[in-house]
Amino acid sequence: MQLFEEADDEAFRRLVREWLADNLAMVAGGFPAPVSPHDMAFRRAWEDHLCACGFSGLTWPKADGGHELPMGRMVIWLEEYARSGAPQGVNVIGHGILGPTLLHFGSAEQKARYLPGLLANREIWCQGYSEPGAGSDLAALRTQAVCEGDHYMVSGQKIWTSYANIADWCFLLARTDPSVPKHKGISFLLVDMKSPGITVRPIRQMNGEQEFNEVFFDEVKVPVANRVGEENSGWAIAMAAASFERATYFIPRLVRMEEEFRDLLQLARAPRPGAGVPLEDPEVRGRLASAYLDVHVLKLFARRMLETAGGTPGPEGSYLKLFWSESHQRLLDIAMDVLGPSARLGPQEPAAAERRHWQRDYLWSRAETILAGTSEIQRNIIAERVLGLPR
Ligand SMILES: Cc1cc2nc3c(=O)[nH]c(=O)nc-3n(C[C@H](O)[C@H](O)[C@H](O)COP(=O)(O)OP(=O)(O)OC[C@H]3O[C@@H](n4cnc5c(N)ncnc54)[C@H](O)[C@@H]3O)c2cc1C
């Protein structure tokens, strides 16, 4: 793709910005205006368009169908993507976790079978790790995979499985040896969601959306050829998979937070009917000033992590996760107070002047201190592995 050959960073940024603006307008033009970036059909159409235009596998090796984009360019792409307001795709777990996992641990056959479907966005993936009794303590999982010749019989229950209701495939962790210590008896399996014995029950979230699910496996037949890596090596694979793209995970989130801060300040300066606490309120002024500092400290953290850790942060990545998720919640708490009942307005409503769904984003942000390791777990990691405190 010509855009990726551009020699100069600033020219590359400009081209990315223009491409995103033009193509977003084109894809959105196929929907009744204005379309929400949270609309599932829009998200899917946009992601299909990106992939059809070759914007997938950006950092993957060229030999595997990627573009081998260097980290600096990837950062520019992610920053511009976040600024453009483009929706998040629905195959984020496939592109962000499963793809890099197969690149590192998949057999040649597995790469040939699954990577092209990911690059073209033909197959949507979900991640079946968490269970009702195994979340923070993931290794306590109880879903079993019993080997019967050339296949496993998988039985158990997963929960909070994002996108399982639309996924074609699930990569899951299942216990293949209950007799050894818990981390050592787990395997990493690729499961066709159309297999007999799978039941998906969507869970409605408090913001009204329905993204995650309960998934039940009742004697589901999974070929042994669908196991990634050796039997009982699933824990190490899952831990490595969690570190892929961890450094770049925060870039779009920090850009979005900075933009949210700016938009909020603008709305606070020119309150509309139904707004809440005025900007003259000394407490609100203090909280906004702190939020401004949070955004800047986060940006410095992220930059230092990218420069020093070269993209694969160790336990210090926990600082960023903890600080980002908690300060983002604080920012949206201020938004609720400042915007008052007018925060209910979203871009789809005729009276709305702003481009954000403040109330929806406030509700969604509650999940940010839970997913990818809760705040308590991040604090444990910092205490034990960074500060060396006793357990
Ligand atoms: C939006 C969203 C999407 C998700 N998508 C997926 C997905 O696609 N696939 C998937 O497998 N999972 C997914 N999850 C699940 C997520 O990984 C778990 O919610 C998370 O790991 C926490 O596990 P839990 O919910 O079982 O909480 P628990 O582990 O039961 O924790 C409950 C509370 O106890 C605290 N706690 C637990 N252990 C300790 C400890 N040792 N010390 C101190 N406090 C502790 C926790 O911090 C928390 O406050 C998703 C979650 C969310 C919110």
Tell me the torsion sign for CA atoms 361, 293, 369, 277: negative
Residue 6 confidence class, pLDDT cut points 50, 70, 90: confident
- 277, 224: one domain: no
CA-CA-CA-CA dihedral for 297, 301, 307, 312, to nearest 10: -160
Helix residue ranges, H only, 244-316: 246-269, 282-309
- 259, 349: one domain: yes
CA-wise closest residue to 171 among 185, 147, 154: 154
Q: List all residues whose CB is within 6 A of at least one atom of ligand 1.
A: 126-130, 135-136, 160-162, 212, 367, 370-371, 374, 376-377, 380
- 382, 263: one domain: yes
Using the mean position of ligand 1's atoms as its centre, give its distance from the Cα of residue 174 in Å.
Answer: 18
> Is 211 one of the annotated active-site residues of the chain?
no
Note whether residue 95 is domain-resident. Answer: no
In the predicted model, what is the mean pLDDT of residues 5-17? 89
- 253, 362: one domain: yes
In DSSP terms, 152 is beta-bridged to 147, 222
Tell me the torsion sign for CA atoms 290, 295, 301, 304: negative
| Ligand 1 atom with minimal separation from the 93 CA | 8
Using the mean position of ligand 1's atoms as its centre, give its distance from the Cα of residue 108 in Å.
Answer: 34
Name the helix (H) or strand (E) containing 144. strand 144-148
Note whether residue 107 is domain-resident. Answer: no
Using the mean position of ligand 1's atoms as its centre, give its distance from the Cα of residue 182 in Å.
Answer: 18
Using the mean position of ligand 1's atoms as its centre, give its distance from the Cα of residue 371 in Å.
Answer: 6
Q: Using most ligand atoms within 8 A of CB, pick from 162, 366, 374, 382 the residue to mutate for ligand 1.
A: 374
- Among the listed residues 80, 123, 211, 245, the single catalytic one is 245
| Ligand 1 atom with minimal separation from the 368 CA | 53
Backbone angles phi, psi at 201, to 5 degrees: -120, 110
d(CA 107, CA 369) in angstroms, rounded, equals 35
Note whether residue 251 is domain-resident. Answer: yes
Query: Exposure string (b/e) for 116-146, b if CB count within 10 Å is 16 or more?
Result: ebbbebebbbbbbbbbeebbeebeebebbbe
Residues 6+ apart with CB under 8 A from 181: none
Note whether residue 238 is domain-resident. Answer: no
| Ligand 1 atom with minimal separation from the 158 CA | 11
Report the pLDDT value the prediction gives residue 3, as an integer from 0 to 100: 74
Q: Using most ligand atoms within 8 A of CB, pick from 101, 159, 371 the residue to mutate for ligand 1.
A: 371
- 249, 378: one domain: yes
> Which of 233, 255, 282 is the C-terminal boundary of a domain?
233
pLDDT higher than threshold 70 for residue 347:
no
Using the mean position of ligand 1's atoms as its centre, give its distance from the Cα of residue 370 in Å.
Answer: 5
Note whether residue 300 is domain-resident. Answer: yes
Q: Using most ligand atoms within 8 A of CB, pick from 98, 101, 136 the residue to mutate for ligand 1.
A: 136
In the predicted model, what is the mean pLDDT of residues 103-123? 97
Report the pLDDT value the prediction gives residue 323, as an integer from 0 to 100: 95
CA angle 364, 347, 367 (to 5 degrees): 5
Q: Please name the residue whose Cα sits nearest to atom 38 of ligand 1.
A: 136
Report the pLDDT value the prediction gives residue 250, as an integer from 0 to 100: 87
Report the pLDDT value the prediction gives residue 224, as an integer from 0 to 100: 98
When the pLDDT of each residue in the chain is averaged and rounded to a whole number, the result is: 92
> When comparing pLDDT for 249 and 117, which is higher?
117
d(CA 5, CA 11) in angstroms, rounded, equals 11
- 80, 164: one domain: no
- 322, 352: one domain: yes
In angstroms, how far is CA 113 from the centroid of its own chain?
A: 24
Going from the C-alpha of 305 to that of each of 62, 75, 192, 302, the distances in angstroms are 26, 13, 37, 5
Report the pLDDT value the prediction gives residue 35, as an integer from 0 to 100: 86
> Which of 65, 89, 113 is the C-terminal boundary of a domain?
89
212-223 and 151-162 as β-strands: parallel, antiparallel, unpaired?
antiparallel
CA angle 55, 120, 75 (to 5 degrees): 25
| Ligand 1 atom with minimal separation from the 136 CA | 29
Note whether residue 381 is domain-resident. Answer: yes
Query: Exposure string (b/e) for 161-198, b if CB count within 10 Å is 16 or more?
Result: bbbbbbbebbbbbbbbbeeeebeebbbbbbbebeeeeb
Report the pLDDT value the prediction gives residue 177, as an integer from 0 to 100: 98
Using the mean position of ligand 1's atoms as its centre, give its distance from the Cα of residue 133 in Å.
Answer: 10
- 177, 263: one domain: no
In DSSP terms, 156 is beta-bridged to 217
Q: Please name the residue whose Cα sits nearest to atom 35 of ligand 1.
A: 376
- 140, 227: one domain: yes
d(CA 279, CA 267) in angstroms, rounded, equals 10
pLDDT digits (tens, 9 = 90+) for 269-298: 988 788 899 999 999 999 999 999 999 999
Domain that holds residue 154: 125-233
Q: Using most ligand atoms within 8 A of CB, pick from 126, 130, 364 the residue to mutate for ligand 1.
A: 130
d(CA 210, CA 205) in angstroms, rounded, equals 6
Report the pLDDT value the prediction gives residue 130, as an integer from 0 to 100: 98
- 282, 331: one domain: yes
pLDDT higher than threshold 80 for residue 198:
yes
- 51, 182: one domain: no
> For 167-181, 264-278, 336-350, 372-386, which range has the lowest pLDDT when averaged over its residues?
336-350
pLDDT digits (tens, 9 = 90+) for 302-313: 888 888 766 566
Using the mean position of ligand 1's atoms as its centre, give its distance from the Cα of residue 217 in Å.
Answer: 21
d(CA 14, CA 20) in angstroms, rounded, equals 10
pLDDT higher than threshold 60 for residue 354:
no
Number of domains the chain contains: 3
Going from the C-alpha of 271 to that of each of 232, 262, 349, 362, the distances in angstroms are 58, 14, 17, 19
| Ligand 1 atom with minimal separation from the 376 CA | 47
141 touches 174 (CB < 8 A): yes
| Ligand 1 atom with minimal separation from the 134 CA | 26
Note whether residue 211 is domain-resident. Answer: yes
Residue 349 confidence class, pLDDT cut points 50, 70, 90: low
Note whether residue 317 is domain-resident. Answer: yes
d(CA 85, CA 319) in angstroms, rounded, equals 26
| Domain CATH number, residue 205 | 2.40.110.10
- 148, 207: one domain: yes
